[in-house]
Chains A and B, each alone.
Chain A
Amino acid sequence: SQQGEEDPQALSIQEGENATMNCSYKTSINNLQWYRQNSGRGLVHLILIRSNEREKHSGRLRVTLDTSKKSSSLLITASRAADTASYFCATDAVGAQKLVFGQGTRLTINP
């Protein structure tokens, strides 16, 4: 069963604006990861945040994690047309051997 659920399912913004995507999950985790998928391609790892971390940055990406609310957010600042893709969160649950992926947020950046 899918644990991570992204919100919104689809997001369309203008180039230069910030994009925020949210992920909720249900059980205790070791870490939470965000992946990106360009149309028709495989997923690419973006960033990992561990359960004892609250915020992490990588370039224009900012990820937050609130373990009390079992939620995470991915912020992409100063969006570009090339950021158009689907974004997935994946949870590494305690005691599990596998990641569980959400259904993804489809992000469209309009030039």
Chain B
Amino acid sequence: DVKVTQSSRYLVKRTGEKVFLECVQDMDHENMFWYRQDPGLGLRLIYFSYDVKMKEKGDIPEGYSVSREKKERFSLILESASTNQTSMYLCASRAPSGGTDTQYFGPGTRLTVL
């Protein structure tokens, strides 16, 4: 079974801190994604990556950056956390289009910025 893991289930940080959210998948998927989920707004795509060292902006990249140094790992970075970045963060991976097409999600990280 595909497994996508995220480094923390719950995280509390202070405004201005640099925050790293880590995501690891074990299925050799090329594509990886970071979403945030807020009540009433559904899932919004922050960044995605379709290969090592490649990244593409999603719908709401402002205030975030990403790193993909290895195929299995995709990191989301909040350079200077702000209270409006309090949210549930979901990582996902997927085989290239034309493969299974299914997206596999991690359990989520609930980040609170004080």
Contact = CB atoms under 8 A, between A and B. Distances in A.
B33 interface: yes
A33 B59 CA distance: 20
Contacts of A30: 97, 101
Interface residues of B, number: 29
A42 B42 contact: no
A79 B64 CA distance: 40
A43 B43 CA distance: 10
Given A97-B48, A98-B48, A41 B101 contact: no
Specify the main secondary structure of chain A where it touches its partner.
strand
Nearest to A44: B105
A45 B108 contact: no
Interface of B: 4, 31, 33, 35, 40-45, 48, 50, 56, 58-59, 88, 90, 92, 94, 97, 101-108, 110
Pairs of residues from A and B, 3 with the lowest C-beta to C-beta distance, nearest first: A103-B42, A42-B105, A101-B43
